[in-house]
Chain A
Amino acid sequence: MNPFMKEMRVAYAFIERNINLIKRYWGWEVVWLIYSLVNSLAVTYIGAGMEKITGQTLDTQYLITYLLVGTLIWSYLSVIFYSISEMIAWERWEGTIEYTFMAPVSRATHLVGTTLFAIIYGILRTLVILIIVASFFNLDLAGANLPGAVLLLLAGSVSFVGLGIVAAVLPLLYPERGAQMTNAAAAILLLISGVYYPVETLPAWLQVVSSASPATYVIKGMRGCLLHGQSTRSLLSIVFILIAAGTAVIMVGLFIFGRVERYAKRTGRLKRSG
């Protein structure tokens, strides 16, 4: 068997493990899906109710789609971010971290398995939410560029994989509060990336910070595709930037992870209880 196939077989260990975790913790999955669904509906209804809130005539359909795109893309990107950033937190919580780190598996292979699962799971989960939420509103996506949207989403995933790796370092460094710290990191991304409002609404200094978030470009591009039918050709530069920046973040993330793993081994932080 060639080395690539060998590594892919090892990477499948993480895909199968995560599928088993979903099967065994299906109750949690249902609860989380309901939470995301209700959250998406609640946010989208803000758009539906805007005429009543302001007492003015507005393009409600545009507002609904604007908010729905934001909430769905955020739902997808946060699945990628959390699936990767929690790869250490789960193992620590279950107590299996030492066994996984003792196995002859490179961190890159560990990551490939976790990422493949996260992308498939994120797409399926977002589709379920989209189908249910769409049944509540009359969505008109006739002029939308759907292939361009998918391309942008996949390019955006690369950056979130990188951010997930950087965040995964936190539970390794801080056994007790690392997982909570990743929540704070996700919340900051939510604030600055223009998920529910244009980034131009933010104070000038936060707009500067928002330009560093890959989600800013993904969400802006997605709105261009789905609301204005922006062509795939015009998106290529953003796609290229997202893939290039994502690859760089993954490289930096792997480097940081390697250093922190070594530090954890030096200080004895891999232990289950920390």
Chain B
Amino acid sequence: MSLIIKDLSARVKDGAQILNGINLEIPKGEVHAIMGPNGSGKSTLSKVLCGHPDYEVISGTAELDGQDLFAMSVDERSRAGLFLAFQYPVEVPGVTNANFMRAALQARLPKGEELDAVSFYKTMRAKMAALGMDTKFTARAVNEGFSGGEKKRNDILQMMMLEPSYAILDETDSGLDVDALRIVSDGVNAMRAPFRSFLVITHYKRLLDYIKPDVVHVLYKGRIVRTAGYEIVEHIEQNGFDFLKAEE
């Protein structure tokens, strides 16, 4: 059981090609990290996998536990177990966090089955407490007026509520102070399990110090150019990405 990406090329709709033949396999239970300089295609990869309408797949395939990911709509991918923690979580005025999560969880139930509201709120409050979030956030509009850190925590809360099989964290560390980073990382680590994988996209070692990856990939100009262990994180932290240019 894995997320398998084969020879994936994609571009901005009617625009530049960003991904140039990505091959990646993330087996269940593993944490993979993707690092790479600005503009290398990290966020594009995450958005293409989730079906963002601004991007289009040119060629290649992606399979989620044997299912053709690109044949599914955005919401079907989520219900099939894929989750994206956004680099910039979106503000949704007028829709409360509670209603948002209820709708998302309700959509996962078989037809005719109703979500148990009492246990829903109980679970949500418990997970909010674990992330150091004020329970007042349940009644607030999704991310509206939230600080950068609060938005990131809210995304992680959603991940904890939806319990996906494959979670992509797109620069979840950006905009987080040290304490928030630790809390968010603790949340992610608590979810590590043999039946769940993570793809952690980041620029910095500090996140990977908290969420220790099993495998690290380096993305450059839309291709995976290195796959290594944690040691490459140290190397990048000290030397930057210049070694990639030297190899060109």
* Chains A and B form a bound pair: no
What residues of chain A have their CB less than 8 Å away from a CB belonging to chain B? Answer: none
